[in-house]
Amino acid sequence: MGLQLEKAVGKARKFEKKGELDAAADVYSQLLGQFPQNRRVAAALQSLLQRIGDPPVAKLQTLEAAYNRNDHALVIDAATALAASFPRSFTLFNILGAAQLALRDAPGAEASFRRALAIHPQNLDAMSNLGVALKVQGRVAEALQCYTAAAQLSPDNGNIKFNLANLLRQSARREEALAVYHELARARPSDAEPRFLMAATLQELGRGAEAVEEAGKALAIDPSQDRARALLLHQLGHFCDFDAARPHLEGIEALGIEGSPVEPFALLALDDCPARGLERSHAWARRFPTAPALPRTTRRDGPIRIGYFSADFHNHATIYLISRVFEHHDRNAFEINLYSFGGKEGGAITARLAQTSTRYRDVHRLSDAEIAKLAREDGLDIAVDLKGYTKNARPEIFASRAAPVQINYLGFPGTMGAPFIDYLVADPVLIPDSHQAHYSEKIVYLPHSYQPTDDSRIVPADPSSRSDHGLPNDGFVFAAFNATYKIQPRDFAIWMRLLSAVEGSVLWLFRSNGPAEANLKKAAVAHGIDPARLVFAPALPHLLHLARHRHADLFLDTFACNAHTTASDALWAGLPLVTRIGEQFAARVAASVLTAAGLPELVTQSDEAYEALALALARDPGRLGALRHKLVSTRAGAPLFDSRAYTRDLEAAYRAVHRRWLDGEAPAVVRIDGAAAG
């Protein structure tokens, strides 16, 4: 075989010497068909094709310079003109395709890359770029074929393997992605990126301990790998591993602001500073190329078309909050479109949502650009992002412009810092006027709480006893059902002092994971508290979880990132809640909810006041009983639990922002006074 190969190569070289370049290229092409991984033959063919088909080097350099300064329209015009004279230049079609891709013309880019591959079937740049163009169009299977073929042709090409692994991960083929990242980590031991991507994939797979290990390896290679540090801190937060997190907290104020951007959500529970939150979100938003604003259209008759976008149209906290809004929307005035990109369709909740919407679309197999295009074809007036920067978010849908007006609502408790998001739904407690500068969006102020609730839920009778839940029959029960990543040493220390001060009391926590349970018990011992006084509640179906709240006496909130759905759940179940209001959106949610529930007296302004109020209520059954009676007796009239009135206020906000757009006015602060509810 080796002799045959060398003989054929010699034949090709003879053709070259005689100036018969096409014949030489044919021989090299045939050889590559037989020996696709022979880099010597591939390089010889590529060099020869460039000699045959490329324009003068100076012209190619001019195109590359224009591309590098982002003058993509000029590149397209010039390359298209050159292609008429140099139709066999795969280099030219590669440059043309790259410029088309930069201007979001994925079909045009695909055609250009296919032209390049028709000339040089094994050109790695064209093959890899074609994968990108196909991926952008949502044709994931074809894109994976391109990346796989390119990786086979060039097994040592790290960039191609990164593309392959990233697309496998985005396609939920995480175990396969993990294997490719592992290959990259072995091949590039001094590169932290493969280790970080392994950590991120392991976290998505629910393998948190391994994610922590890989993030640690990434930081050992490169201590400035900020995304690995943010991931590590967030995962250690889920584990309540205060000791392991402590050394990584130094200088956290600069994390995601100086250096590389990091996921804003990862630091919400660690840094209660809205100014820094805005900087982090600004930095993160710059990762998403933003399409131009949509042109204004003439006024049309008929309902305003609203599109809600989420990965969580299933058994999820956000849907427990908003499902009643969908049911109360005025069908004569609003057309409700739901776009589900979570891939978790099915069940009673999905069926309920489909019945309450004008149109329900399962779009999880479409690309971000395709979803945005579909939304524009549906004629949306307003696109509502229910995810923001939370898990499984897809902000590039909105960067691609799904609608003329785009709103950040409910899912992400903070600013997105993005030029493609116009408004943020809030209330005067969440964002006082003095805080508006910390939010890139214009604020839509609802009159009560920003948070909707489902006032149709019937909490079932619960025949269980306290002892059935591992609780003392007579002792005081403090409940703290927040997610474990929200629990910080500062909050926990106060809780332990309360247990110490209230004899026989226990702390009832939500059971999340084994490491968190072990670490919280360890932390309790460090505070001099018997770990048996920490009781962990297993997961239950939603209504049964609400029912067991009756066994608790007082809910204790976390600080930097408050209870959100958990707060309104507790109040709906009749359980009073004490909070300490902070600075950022996430640290003021429980105050907003309590105010709208008619219990502003349970909002405190300092750690000391929080601790004092919780202790006073635990020691004064009469006072606590009066609060519980007030909560239950006034619940029917409280704004927090009036879903119909809430929906009318939200609709008034939609009308206001839509009217501004129709009138050619820029987004501005909108205040709804509640008159719509009347």
Give 426-444 pLDDT, tens digit per residue. Answer: 999 999 999 999 999 999 9
Contact predicate 552/305, CB 8 Å: no
Give the least confident one: 282-291, 295-304, 323-332, 382-391: 295-304
Phi and psi at 170, nearest 5°, equal -65, -20
Distance CA 649, CA 673 (A): 8
User: What local confidence, expressed as pLDDT, does residue 642 receive?
Assistant: 97
User: What local confidence, expressed as pLDDT, does residue 28 receive?
Assistant: 59
Give the angle 23-28-33 at the CA atoms, nearest 5°: 125
Q: What is the token pair recorded at 64? A: 């590359």
585-637 pLDDT per residue, tens: 999 999 999 999 999 999 999 999 999 999 999 999 999 999 999 999 999 89
Q: What is the token pair recorded at 618? A: 């635990």
539-568 pLDDT per residue, tens: 999 999 999 999 999 999 999 999 999 999
Cβ neighbours, 10 Å, residue 622: 7
User: What local confidence, expressed as pLDDT, does residue 3 receive?
Assistant: 44
| Averaged pLDDT score across all residues of the chain | 92
* DSSP H or E stretch at residue 161: helix 158-170
297-307 pLDDT per residue, tens: 777 789 999 99
Q: Provide the 8-state DSSP code for 625.
A: H
Give the least confident one: 15-19, 78-82, 639-643: 15-19
User: What local confidence, expressed as pLDDT, does residue 354 receive?
Assistant: 78
Q: Would you state the torsion angle of the CA atoms of residues 265, 266, 272, 275, taken in this order, to the nearest 10 degrees?
A: -60
Look at residue 38 and tell me whether its pLDDT is greater than 80.
no
**N-terminal to C-terminal alpha carbon distance within the chain:** 87
Cβ neighbours, 10 Å, residue 625: 13
Q: Where are the beta strands (DSSP E) in 620-672?
A: 670-671
568-577 pLDDT per residue, tens: 999 999 999 9
Task: Give the bridge partners for 424, in sequence order.
Answer: 408, 443
Nearest CA to 542 out of 568, 576, 577, 506 is that of 568
User: What local confidence, expressed as pLDDT, does residue 121 receive?
Assistant: 85
Distance CA 650, CA 333 (A): 13
